[in-house]
Amino acid sequence: MKLKPGFILRKCGEAEIVVPVGANVEKYKNMMITLSGSARMLWDMLEKGCERADLVRAMLEKYDVEREVVENDVDLFLKKLTRAELLDDEGL
């Protein structure tokens, strides 16, 4: 799965903000997403393209958290991106 084109990630103070650009501005004009550190890592991986298993594996390598917690968090993130129509592949 991969993120749809037409979005950029910018740092605004301490916040990581995703905003639409180009043709997406009109469709997503009221959307702005703020990413946490772990969400930023997942976003970066999705920009390049990856599978759910890759996201889970990366989170497990970086954070000392139970697999079930990581899987739930990754699934929630992917569901949010899917609902917002930001993924080329629905992912779930």
Phi-psi domain of 34 (left: phi exceeds 0; alpha: psi -120 through 50; beta: other): beta
pLDDT in tens, the chain (92 residues): 999 899 989 998 889 999 889 888 888 877 888 998 899 999 999 999 999 999 999 999 999 999 999 999 999 999 999 988 889 864 44
Determine the pLDDT at residue 91. Answer: 44
pLDDT at residue 23, rounded to an integer:
85
Distance CA 70, CA 66 (A): 6
**Edge-to-edge strands, sheet with 7-12:** 7-12, 15-20, 33-35
